[in-house]
Structure 1
Amino acid sequence: MRQPAGRSVRRSGGERKPREERWAELIDVATQVFYEKGYDGASLQDIADRLGMLKGSLYYYIQSKEDLLFDVISTVHRDGLAVVRACADRPGDALERLEGVILGHVEHTCRNLVPTAVFLHELSSLPEERSREVLGSEHAYQGVFRDLIEQAQRDGLVRPDVEPRLAALSVLGSTNWVYRWFRPGGTFPPEAIGAQFADMAIRGIATEEALAARAGRRAALTAAAGS
């Protein structure tokens, strides 16, 4: 856990929650308040009121509102990155793993609409150097997609005319936008949205041979499921 500089981690008062639990609650509440009011419209007093604590007590955890936004956005980025990296590490060739990453990213987005909205809307509210600190020097999140496309291209699964970085940006641009229109309980569940987006993305970059092999695998799975 990132500790505010120059502040003690000691707690007093037997009725207080453990620091880890209270910190998680602070991040959740701040995320909701930033979502509802926007970073500029939200105040530390709003967050303290929602938590049922004095505004001054927030400084036990943070140094400023910007500090808190940084921690909120870092948490959102870290959690999403963990999801796509886990999907990228599953068995299969690079194209199969890319498909899984797209599915995982879309489903995670649909199930975390508020944090996603805060991340995408408020990242620019941070100073540029702090935004870069969140994203990483190589844009780690984007890099998961780009690296898989590059690997698939080397393996002859993605067409040679595809530019991996642009392809990764295209996939992320379309899938990130899901948060704007997805509604829980609506016509399309997260799994169906993820499957369609993944299918469209793969069809847009894969070689004819890779698509034929993919269709063969799907037909075999369907036949096995029906036997």
Structure 2
Amino acid sequence: MKNKIKQLSILLFEKKGFTETSIQDIVESLGVTKGTFYYYFESKEQLLMDIHMSYIDQLLERQRAIRQEHHSSRMKLEQIIALLIADIANHGPSGKVFFREMRHLSEDNAVKVKKKREIFRKNLAEIISEGIAQKEFRDKLEPEMVAFAILGVTNWSYQWFNPSGKISADQLARIYSDLILNGIA
């Protein structure tokens, strides 16, 4: 039931927004009582925090698996770009809630999520640094700034990317990888 509440809430938060979705909306959509909701979550914010932590923890786990592979830094970067785009394609509502609704977390909860986001970004910068050291990437790159740029390009896709549209998630990941790794000139 906890997972059902979470999954339905993600869809409601995506559609109506966090502040416009009430606990009553959630329980009515599930056909359960508020007591059922409060058995699993202390508050709507705790539910939102659970959604955020699940989302970032899953990304960190998949990023860790990519980092542990014995591939080139270039390949790891391509895989992480593909991971981020595939995640938007496969879990679009969760991504929208993750990126759009964080502002509704308390300061303490927001700090916890931001720390995990920072770990993801620093891991990405480390891959770039390793690629520079291995002469796969130009030596004058700023790994932190490149990591921010990659995350900006990929994460913003949740706003407009339609996985059933003209471009597939795999195609978009290849386009982004080519742009990031080869430029446009």
SS at 2:32 equivalent: coil
Q: Does 1:123 align with 2:102?
A: yes
Which of the pair has more CA radius of gyration?
Answer: 1
Q: Which of 193, 199, 208 is equivalent to 2:172?
A: 193
User: How far did 1:43 drift?
Assistant: 0.7
Work out which structure has the larger RCO, using CA pairs closer than 8 Å and 6 or more positions apart in sequence. 2
User: How far did 1:144 drift?
Assistant: 2.5
Root mean square deviation of aligned Cα: 1.6
Q: What 5-or-longer segments of structure 1 have no aligned partner?
A: 1-21, 205-227
User: How far did 1:137 drift?
Assistant: 6.1
Quick check: 1:102–1:198 contact (8 Å CA) kept in 2?
Answer: yes
For the residues of structure 2 that align with 1:103 and 1:73, how far apart are their CA atoms? 21
User: How far did 1:107 drift?
Assistant: 1.4
Which digits, 9 at most, give the CA deviation of each residue in 1:54-81, with x for residues without a partner? 0122111111111111111111112222
Q: Which of 114, 129, 152 is equivalent to 2:131?
A: 152
Quick check: 2:56–2:116 contact (8 Å CA) kept in 1?
Answer: no
Residue equivalent to 1:140? 119
For the residues of structure 2 that align with 1:101 and 1:70, how far apart are their CA atoms? 24
Residue equivalent to 1:212? none
For the residues of structure 1 that align with 2:167 and 2:116, how far apart are their CA atoms? 36
What is the percent sequence identity of the aligned residues? 27
Residue equivalent to 1:181? 160
User: How far did 1:90 drift?
Assistant: 2.4
Which digits, 9 at most, give the CA deviation of each residue in 1:188-226, with x for residues without a partner? 11110011101111124xxxxxxxxxxxxxxxxxxxxxx
Q: Does 1:68 align with 2:54?
A: no
Q: What 5-or-longer segments of structure 2 have no aligned partner?
A: none
Which digits, 9 at most, give the CA deviation of each residue in 1:98-154, with x for residues without a partner? 111111221122221110000000112112221121232671221221110111112
For the residues of structure 2 that align with 1:137 and 1:187, how far apart are their CA atoms? 33
SS at 2:167 equivalent: coil
